[in-house]
Structure 1
């Protein structure tokens, strides 16, 4: 049925968004080298409002362990420094009056293990979102059954929904495996 297929497509789309969010979260975690994406999404309280860092400054990597945050307004430097220091990223900051210099800590075994924990946590968040999408769409399918859609059509659709769910959870698990090996490689 077309209506049922539309709901399955919507579920797949929402699960894909959860997968992309997990990918973005993984991109922020990097054990070996400084990447501007590490600070992507970091919120800075500026004029009392939480503002994404990339709206206040440009971010670039100068070497493997250093990021340069060049703010558009010099007044935002202390706010940017505070946001980076208070984040759980473990970076140290200093400023030269014109920009914030962010230094990544050396990649010790303990630091890499902590990063793996962080990545596993992000992966679990992604899997939870995917399972919640499945639950929501299963409820929709049950409601459709009460509205007159044949039971065998609902059962087929639930099976497809589970296959889609398993596919996205497997994708997250594969992504996690790759990221773990990347982090733990010295």
Structure 2
């Protein structure tokens, strides 16, 4: 019986960790003032008839905090890349110098920073919902086991501790991202 409880706790922890991974990926995509190659992670380029991620057809760098440079491996892709970046609707205005595409990342306005913080909070809340849902599922599975009330109670306390720890991690990650976004 203890193996089943341990299995439920382990699978719950895995599920909660998956929510954290999803949160971190979502927060990376939220722009925080300085240029990052991840800002272009959603850009797809037409390459030999199929849509290909920009990172697979070019080298993406950030020479400074306000600039992203995209150097394609084939010069013929320059206009394709420029068009793809504009069509991605990221709010960037790419410039083509014949060698590479250069994107100047404009500084965020206060209003935009507040919007991004709201977006980050929304992503954090989604992660918390995922964590709570994993807790609910675990408690349901624990109740279906035929174990004593004491064991059930102890297992539920373990699940709650796991939940509390993950919620604290989400809050910590959110506060770091919030500070990063609001930093001028």
Task: Structure 2 unaligned segments of length 5 or more: list them.
Answer: none
* Equivalent residues in 2 for 1:34-183, closer than 5 Å: 34-40=35-41, 42-44=42-44, 46=46, 51-74=52-75, 76-78=77-79, 80-87=81-88, 89-143=90-144, 145=145, 148-183=146-181
Shift of 1:65: 1.0
TM-score under structure 1 normalisation?
A: 0.80
TM-score under structure 2 normalisation?
A: 0.80
Distance 1:6 1:118, change over 3 A: same
Shift of 1:134: 2.0
Aligned-partner Cα distance in 1 for 2:78–2:148: 62
CA offsets per residue over residues 129-148 of structure 1, 9 Å max, x none? 222222332332233x2xx2
Aligned-partner Cα distance in 2 for 1:35–1:70: 15
Shift of 1:75: 5.3
User: Computing the radius of gyration over CA atoms, which structure comes out larger, 1 or 2?
Assistant: 2
Helix, strand or coil: the match of 2:9? helix
Task: Structure 1 unaligned segments of length 5 or more: list them.
Answer: none
Root mean square deviation, CA, Å: 2.6
Q: Contact 2:43 / 2:88 at 8 angstroms: preserved in 1? A: no
Shift of 1:8: 0.6
Helix, strand or coil: the match of 1:92? coil
